[in-house]
Amino acid sequence: MARKTALITGSSGLVGSEAVSFLAQRGWTVHGIDNNMRGDFFGADGDTTWNLERLRREVREFEHHDLDIRDRAAIARLVRDLRPGLVFHCAAQPSHDLAAKRPFDDFEINALGTLNLLEAAREHCPESPFVFMSTNKVYGDAPNELPLVELETRWDYADEARREGIDETCRIDTSMHSLFGASKTSADLLVQEYGRYFDMPTVCFRAGCITGERHSGAELHGFISYLARAIREGRTYRIFGYLGKQVRDNIHSYDVCTAMLAFVEHPRAGAVYNVGGGRANSVSILEAGARLQELVGLPFRSEYVDEARRGDHICYITDLGRLRGDYPSWEITVSLDEVLEHVAREPAPVT
């Protein structure tokens, strides 16, 4: 049987690189787009060259394209030449804090870059599933309006009925998003619109914290991965506000790929899903620091900055009900503790 062709943007990053290996193992020929912009954003910690080299060594059916998704003509040409059977769009400026310093880069990459890909797909492969990695920042800080209780090491939802967390009905406007959240929300709406208006099989995966060994963790992006790096390297980890009890649920990049494939096999038009680790994979900074300290065998040194990141979530747990309802065979396969053990043991090399 002929191999199908996938196009993955951000293919040297955490999710994109996982997807390269994941799809190649399942019979796809994979073309990746990445210009190592992460290195430009975050310096040496964010440099993804090591990951690209690893993919080139390990994945035979992989071809890399050193392209910028802002380059509309080049993206259109590549999509025309490949006519991929799947577009998995993972390239982004991913940091809330950096977006305020580089608003044009942020918007041009996150919003316009997405539009470039959508238009190219509409022109050359409108039947192919288009999977967009969106973010829970589309909800801005509206999730902070839920009543919370302060426990010894974490915040939690006060209302039993909200235990499972935030679902897709949470409003997306009239809250603070960060410029990153605003550019990603623009992209999220465009991806939905290409599904609804043009009837293309598009989906937005609104993710919280994604994690895994392939992250080039930097202080401004990559919660667990950077925390592990800080402990291993004796760096002081800065905790911004909320007493270090802020909660995130974490999903391994492998489990994002299985959700992506579930959608590709049974696509819908203009779908939206919250994707995350769920309550079982939720952890606060204090809890993750304590566990990693144990696993790495070195102290968790932290400095408390008494000012929260603007628009930051206090307690965010993903309600997976809609995704599980539409794709009942999808499940979380990597537990939080497995993730922590892995990142504690096997750091991403620094280039």
Ligand X SMILES: NC(=O)c1ccc[n+]([C@@H]2O[C@H](COP(=O)([O-])OP(=O)(O)OC[C@H]3O[C@@H](n4cnc5c(N)ncnc54)[C@H](O)[C@@H]3O)[C@@H](O)[C@H]2O)c1
User: Are the C-beta atoms of 142 and 175 separated by less than 8 Å?
Assistant: yes
State which of residues 59, 118, 120, 210 lies at the interface with ligand X (CB under 6 A). Answer: 210
List, in sequence order, every residue forming a beta bridge with 5; answer none if it has no partner.
Answer: 29
Residues 278-315 as b/e (b if ≥16 CB within 10 A, e otherwise) read bbebbbbbbbbbebbbebbeeebebeeeeebeebbbbb
Measure the CA–CA gap between 53 and 226, rounded to whole angstroms: 21
State which of residues 12, 185, 246, 281 lies at the interface with ligand X (CB under 6 A). Answer: 12
Measure the CA–CA gap between 145 and 52, rounded to whole angstroms: 41
Does the protein bind ligand X through residue 38 (CB under 6 A)? yes
State which of residues 19, 75, 209, 332 lies at the interface with ligand X (CB under 6 A). Answer: 209
Closest CB 152 distance from ligand X, rounded Å? 26
State which of residues 29, 36, 128, 183 lies at the interface with ligand X (CB under 6 A). Answer: 36
Binding mask 110-149 vs ligand X (x if CB under 6 A, - otherwise)? ---x-------------------x-x--------------
User: Which of residues 30 and 91 has its CB atom nearest to ligand X in the complex?
Assistant: 91
User: Are the C-beta atoms of 90 and 15 separated by less than 8 Å?
Assistant: yes
State which of residues 5, 21, 29, 35 lies at the interface with ligand X (CB under 6 A). Answer: 35
Closest CB 261 distance from ligand X, rounded Å? 16
State which of residues 6, 7, 8, 14 lies at the interface with ligand X (CB under 6 A). Answer: 14
Q: Which of 143, 161, 165, 137 is nearest to 277 (CA)?
A: 165
Give the tokens for residue 237.
């980890």
Site for ligand X in 87-106 (CB under 6 A): 90-92, 94
**Beta carbons within 8 Å of 293's beta carbon, 6+ residues apart:** 231, 299, 300
Q: Which stretch binds ligand X (CB under 6 A): 8-16, 57-65, 160-168, 226-234?
A: 8-16
Measure the CA–CA gap between 240 and 285, rounded to whole angstroms: 10
Measure the CA–CA gap between 278 and 332, rounded to whole angstroms: 9
DSSP assignment string, 191-250: HHHHHHTT---EEEEEESEEE-TT---BTTB-HHHHHHHHHHTTPPEEEESGGG--EEEE
User: Which of residues 148 and 220 has its CB atom nearest to ligand X in the complex?
Assistant: 220
Closest CB 139 distance from ligand X, rounded Å? 12
Q: Which stretch binds ligand X (CB under 6 A): 29-37, 116-124, 157-165, 318-326?
A: 29-37
- Size of residue set near ligand X by CB under 6 A: 27
User: Which of residues 189 and 298 has its CB atom nearest to ligand X in the complex?
Assistant: 189
User: Which of residues 223 and 330 has its CB atom nearest to ligand X in the complex?
Assistant: 223
H/E stretch holding 7 reads: strand 4-9
Q: Which stretch binds ligand X (CB under 6 A): 14-22, 156-164, 192-200, 300-308?
A: 14-22
Measure the CA–CA gap between 122 and 103, rounded to whole angstroms: 27
Binding site for ligand X (CB under 6 A): 10, 12-16, 33-38, 48, 68-70, 90-92, 94, 109, 113, 133, 135, 207, 209-210
